[in-house]
Amino acid sequence: MIESLFVLSPTGKVIIEKHWHELIPRRVVDYFNEQVSKAMTEGEDVTREDVLPIIASPKYQLINVYRDGLTYLSPVTKEVDPMMVFEFLHRIPDILQEYFGQVSETVIKENFVTVYQLLEEMMDDGFPLTTEPNSLKEIVPAPNILNKVVTTLGATTSVSTRKMPHGMSNLPWRKAGVKYNSNEIFFDIVEEIDAIVDSTGKAVSCEAHGTIQTNSRLSGMPDLTLSFVNPRLVDDCSFHQSVRFNKWESDKVLSFVPPDGHFRLMSYRVNLPSQQNLPIQVKPSINIGANGAKFDITVSLRSTDGKPVENIVLTLPLHKSTTTLTAQCNVGQYMFDPVGKVLRWDVGKIVPRERAPVISGSFGFGSASDAAANAGYNIGVEFLINSHSLSGLKVDVLKLFNESYKPYKGVRTMTKAGRYQVRA
């Protein structure tokens, strides 16, 4: 069971505290913050995302999820399925985003009452109960101006801020009586590439993590079957609870009754071969001297099916002894952070058959020049390619049962960099 929940701000302060069993003291949060700070100071390239998802304390196992600058922390003492805890912790920001549009410290503070009502309905005696947005919205209404005014003034009103569900269907993720003038459903296939590439452009490791985000605006109780051109490409799949898993196992098709609105239909992983042609190639050259170094970085397109690559950003963390940097680039603009010792090059957009972006320059060392000379340099790469799927996964046919109308189907694909690193 899940005993307690703490939602922490970017600075580690408690924003939300909820206990379903015994009261867990806040000093466990202090211990957690100390361990996070310790982990982030152990290496120069360690970020908050690199902190272990489970941290052991003398009494508790601290299961934590970090999203959008906020930490969702659940200390557990008894034996519990950790994946259940992770799924619940991830579901909390998903629900908050569904209610408020965005999740931040300010948004949570402005909607304390609604957030606590949601947590009360989502968990019963330490076990997840109601975690589907459509069911929750039947119980806890989304905040409006009247609710906020009443909450701020502490006044009473004849308008209830909490209502009992009505018109519920037999499916907890879909409400009954949904009607639209125009029936349509949209699928967004988004793939993130995690790769480590050596200085010659060869992929040391490469895999794609994909999600199929869906926006359903269909009337009634539609029963859908979605098939793919090449479904056996994907591995390690996880599905929305509406998907009939046996149908996927036997026929590799997704059979489901969709929730109303936005939801994640499926997530998957694709192991890409080492000879996979990556969308872009980064060629770094860093020549270390006695008191500094000269560098030259070139970016070129490789395999994008003729699509332009957008939002290209390269970051080069330098040694902490770096004191000065001068550079020039033929495309975009660069910025050097003298405090964090990071060079950031905002390339922008590259169109096929255009000139290759190049940045060149030099940087100088202060003290500890020997350590700087022997330090390894890794370039972080960000990019975005619309209408492109690196894995090759494509939607084939969408069939509808149980309703007489013919829905409009829209499919978009997008590939972007996840943890994409080039060794210099």
pLDDT at res. 159:
39
How many other CB atoms are there within 10 angstroms of residue 386's CB atom?
13
pLDDT at res. 162:
47
Contact 335, 376 (CB under 8 A): no
Collapsing DSSP to helix, strand or coil, 195 comes out as strand
Q: How far apart are CA 65 and CA 62, in angstroms?
A: 10
pTM of the predicted protein model: 0.78
Contact 89, 65 (CB under 8 A): yes
pLDDT at res. 40:
85
pLDDT at res. 372:
61
Those residues of the chain that have pLDDT short of 50 are 155-165
Q: How far apart are CA 117 and CA 229, in angstroms?
A: 44
Rounded alpha-carbon distances, angstroms, from residue 10 to 39, 45, 110, 135, 216: 16, 19, 17, 30, 34
- H-assigned helices in 59-157: 82-100, 105-110, 112-122, 133-139, 145-153
pLDDT at res. 161:
45
Q: What is the tens place of the pLDDT at every residue in 382-402?
A: 999 999 988 888 999 999 999
How many other CB atoms are there within 10 angstroms of residue 136's CB atom?
20
Q: How far apart are CA 39 and CA 35, in angstroms?
A: 6
Q: What is the tens place of the pLDDT at every residue in 223-264?
A: 999 999 988 888 889 999 999 999 999 999 999 999 998 999
Tokens standing for residue 73: 């922390």
